[in-house]
Copies of this chain bind each other. A is one copy, B any other.
Amino acid sequence: VNHEPDHRLDFHRSARIGHAEAVYSEGKTLDHLAAIVTEAAARNESLLLTRLAEPQHRALRARVALAMDYDALSRTAIVGAPRAPQGADDAVLIVAAGTSDLPVAAEAQRTLAFHGVSASRIADVGVAGLHRLMPVLPRLERASVVLVCAGMDAALPSVIGGLVRAVVIAVPTSVGYGVAAGGTTALHACLASCASGITVVNIDNGFGAACAAMRVLSGAARLATP
């Protein structure tokens, strides 16, 4: 028998680096998820669960008697209350190159909402039809941070990076087939972008891109108040 704890939630993270504890659910057993959620509720802490597949969500629901705000598109659940909204609207914008990239964009949007940051989502403006991008360009030019979710050849971050001065965080997605399957081509294209100063997160990592956006907002706040 093992008497050591199987998880150690890090609720001090918010004080330390500015964003709250979140739990990556893929591959966790139902026992572990239930214990985590129960502890958070018992300690009255809010919690974000990411990559929680619908069957996992249903099973968890059946096991623990807790209210959970679940969103199927982003596969996220929020336990407890999200932070109150703060900051200017559309300081952060989330762009999805195609409709198929929306689950990743939605994960980013939900993560930001959980932390009190509202961010719009602009979809299906990929490079194959540049005329679709032009109407939204003024909004992109006003933003401080633009998250660009794109799969396949992921040319959109390069195009946007060459047009606006905002922080551009590319989120390569696993959308595609053949050489694009799994997102490695999109990832490499973003990293090798000919537009300067684009940064990149892991494939399908909408959560991480949102956290990076919050680091920018936080760094900006400190720059503004010396």
Contacts and interface: CB of A to CB of B under 8 A. Distances in A.
Contacts of A179: 184, 187-188, 191-192, 202-203
Chain A interface residue number, banded:
35 or more
B120 A4 contact: yes
Contacts of A221: 223
Interface string A1-42: 010111110101100111100101011110010001000000
A219 B167 contact: yes
Interface string A164-182: 1111110000111111111
A144 B197 CA distance: 16
A178 B167 contact: no
Interface string A111-133: 00000000011111111111110
A49 interface: no
A64 interface: no
A135 to B, nearest CB: 10
A68 interface: no
Contacts of A226: 88
A212 B189 contact: no
Nearest to A186: B192
A158 interface: yes
A196 B211 contact: yes
11 contacts: A2-B120, A16-B163, A28-B99, A32-B99, A32-B102, A97-B194, A144-B223, A166-B219, A167-B212, A198-B201, A221-B223
